[in-house]
Amino acid sequence: MRKFEDSLPLQLLKAREATMLFFRPLLHENSLTEQQWRVLRALYAYKEMESKELANRCCLLSPSLTGILKRLEQQGYVQRRKSEEDQRRTIISLTDQANELFQKLSPEVEARYKTFTDRYDEKKLKMLMEMLKELSELEP
């Protein structure tokens, strides 16, 4: 068996934590969790989605997404509506308030990405992203 420190899942978790140190303070200053920001980013990028698709894109379990959406709705950031094609489906989108928040935070998020990229190296980051995408597509 590999040494504990050589565990791939452990190293990926450590890398995630190191990366989030650049962004977490900004999210906390704006009363957002990492998962909430991920949901807001996805909805900003895709405009509207069903909850199942949103959960998949954000790498969240459906029960977790349910709670996240409830809190985002209470904060005035998301809205739900029934699909016109199928009343059983619920479509989720951002409110104007969320769009304003996104516009406000985006420059700071990009600045923090730049700081991260400057420290890590843009070429290495691009290579890492390609390798991670390839790794995420592996089938057991």
Q: Each residue of 63-117: pLDDT tens digit?
A: 999 999 999 999 999 999 987 888 888 899 999 999 999 999 999 999 999 999 9
Phi-psi region of 48 (alpha: psi -120 to 50; beta: other; left: phi over 0): beta
CATH code, domain carrying 37 = 1.10.10.10
Say what the pLDDT of residue 87 is: 81
121 occurs within a structural domain: yes
From residue 126, how far is each of 31, 47, 64, 117 by CA, in Å?
30, 26, 30, 10
1 occurs within a structural domain: no
Say what the pLDDT of residue 89 is: 85
Question: What residues make up the domain containing 24?
Answer: 6-136
Tens of pLDDT along 30-47?
999 999 999 999 999 999
Q: What global pTM score does this model have?
A: 0.88
51 occurs within a structural domain: yes
Tens of pLDDT along 78-91?
999 987 888 888 89
What domain count does the chain have? 1
